[in-house]
Amino acid sequence: MGQGTICAAGWQSNPPNPPLLKGGKGGIIDFYWEIDMSDTILDVINLKKYFYHSAGLFSFLKKEKSIIPAVDDVSFYLKEKEILGLVGESGCGKTTVGKLILRLIEPTDGRIIFNGMDMQNLQKSELRKVRSQMQMIFQDLDAALNPRMKVKDILKEAITVYEDLDYYQVNKRIAELMNQVNLKKSKLGNYPDELSGGEKRRVGIARVLAVKPKLIIADEPTSALDVSIQAQVINLLRDLQEKLGLSYLFISHDLRLVELISNKVAVMYMGRIVEMGLSDRIAHKPMHPYTNILWSSLTEGGDKVISPGLSWQVFDFERPVTGCRFHPRCEVFKSRGNPKECIDLQNEPKLTQIGASHYVACHFPLL
């Protein structure tokens, strides 16, 4: 075993950070075992982000604010050169996880260990250095690129943020980046508005690569793209990952896409991870009723449909549920005659190991 071998469910940090997990009996995770964590690049431990807001016409008069537990005790780890897919429907907290990892927003609780460094303890100058090693491909394609800058200037700005290079070195690097993302040099003089969706996405990826990151958080990198262009972007990301030895947290609402590119998949529901395991396993033997719904809602072509009999009303963070937060939509809950375990306030299901590298948070997993 290498460094950092004492682990709870593998959600554990490397030294020098002492184990901080609330896991074990009574915590969010109900099991312990040992795993070699020496090549772990990212360790997310009991991460929480609660947003507080008051809604309605006279909200400013209200003293009480509602809580949105956008990320509610999330733990996972990512090894070097590994791709972890984070999947779940709109609003379940995926982007918030990405922003927390990059410390673009502050967590309510929990820890993020990147390359053995605790992100919360970093000084400004250290954080700046670490930021060059972890980058985010943002979900909103148009907001991600400055519309008043040409492609060449966008890349130049990114290249020179962390490196002091001369004119020739910068141009050489720009040419390399354009080559890496398969964009013609003729596009260097274009503004983002003059590019297609796929080309814009490639510029976004080139800009992220410009700082030579180790970890990329790719947040819905294929959103707003045609299916054929989606495939090109996925292939490009996969090629780059192999060539440059990158690690990805790949965020998407599309389980099919996530399964295609990722080694491991974590399924998120209402701020929590409800199932996690190797992609193959999650695809062919989902054990959480929610993951099962995600699969059964895909047609052969991959489009999302609402299957008859499945409850597809969107969850509401502001109407908290007791017990398992999925129970109002769960077919297993209904078919078993509303078992009390599922609605017991003190008994929200914890992620529990159920097979080799397979974890499920459900009292009645599908077998």
Ligand X SMILES: Nc1ncnc2c1ncn2[C@@H]1O[C@H](COP(=O)(O)OP(=O)(O)OP(=O)(O)O)[C@@H](O)[C@H]1O
Task: State the minimum distance, in angstroms, from the CB of residue 328 to ligand SF4.
Answer: 8
Q: From the list 75, 95, 279, 292, which residue makes contact with ligand X (rule: CB under 6 A)? A: 95
Residue 7's SS3 state is coil
Instruction: Determine the distance from the C-alpha atom of residue 243 to the mean position of all C-alpha atoms in its chain, rounded to a whole number.
Output: 22
What b/e sequence results for 154-185 when a residue is b if at least 16 CB atoms lie within 10 Å of its CB, and e otherwise? bbbebbeeeeeeeeeebbebbeebbebbebee
- Based on the shown chain and the rule CB under 6 A, indicate whether residue 70 belongs to the binding site for ligand X: yes
Sequence-distant (6+) residues with CB within 8 A of 139 are: 95, 219, 220, 223, 251
10 Å Cβ neighbour count for 355?
Answer: 13
Q: Which of residues 298-317 bind ligand X (CB under 6 A)?
A: 317
Residue 349 binds which of ligand SF4, ligand X, Mg ion, none (CB < 5-8 A, kind-dependent): ligand SF4
The reply to whether 291 sits near ligand X by the rule CB under 6 A is no
327 is an interface residue for ligand SF4 by CB under 6 A = yes
Q: Establish if 324 lies at the interface with ligand SF4 (CB under 6 A).
A: yes
What does 285-336 look like in DSSP terms, one character per residue?
A: S--SHHHHHHHHTB-TTS-B---TT---PPP-TTS--SSSTTGGG-HHHHHT
Q: Which of 117, 349, 350, 351 binds ligand SF4 (CB under 6 A)?
A: 349
**Among the candidate windows 8-16, 92-100, 114-122, 356-364, which touches ligand SF4 by CB under 6 A?**
356-364
Q: Which residues, including other chains, have CB under 8 Å from residue 84's CB and lie 6 or more apart?
A: 76, 78, 248, 249, 250, 262, 263, 264, 265, 266
DSSP, res 3: S
Partner whose footprint covers residue 100, from Mg ion, ligand X, ligand SF4, none (CB < 5 to 8 Å by kind): none
Based on the shown chain and the rule CB under 6 A, indicate whether residue 94 belongs to the binding site for ligand X.
yes
262 within 8 A of 282, measured Cβ to Cβ: no
287 binds ligand SF4 (CB under 6 A): no
Is 191 a residue that touches ligand X (CB under 6 A)? Answer: no
208 binds ligand SF4 (CB under 6 A): no
Which window, 21-29, 47-55, 131-139, 192-200, contacts Mg ion (CB under 5 A)? 131-139
- In 181-226, where does DSSP find H-type helix? 197-209
For the chain, the C-alpha Rg in angstroms (whole number) is 21
Q: Does 95 bind Mg ion (CB under 5 A)?
A: yes
SS3 state at 345: coil
Q: Is 92 in the site for ligand X (CB under 6 A)?
A: yes
Assign residue 110 a region (left: φ > 0; alpha: ψ between -120 and 50; beta: otherwise).
Answer: left
Q: Which of residues 22-51 bind ligand X (CB under 6 A)?
A: 51
Q: What's the DSSP call for residue 153?
A: H
Could you give the CA distance from residue 330 to residue 158 in angstroms, rounded to a whole number?
A: 46
By CB under 6 A, tell whether 158 contacts ligand X.
Answer: no
Residues that contact ligand SF4, how many (by CB under 6 A): 12
What is the nearest approach in angstroms of ligand SF4 to the Cβ of residue 337?
A: 11
Provide the minimum distance between the beta carbon of 205 and ligand X in the complex, in angstroms, as a whole number. 19
Contact footprint for Mg ion (CB under 5 A): 95, 139
Contact footprint for ligand SF4 (CB under 6 A): 289, 324, 326-327, 330, 332-333, 342, 349, 362-364
Contact footprint for ligand X (CB under 6 A): 51, 53, 68, 70, 88, 90-96, 139, 253, 317
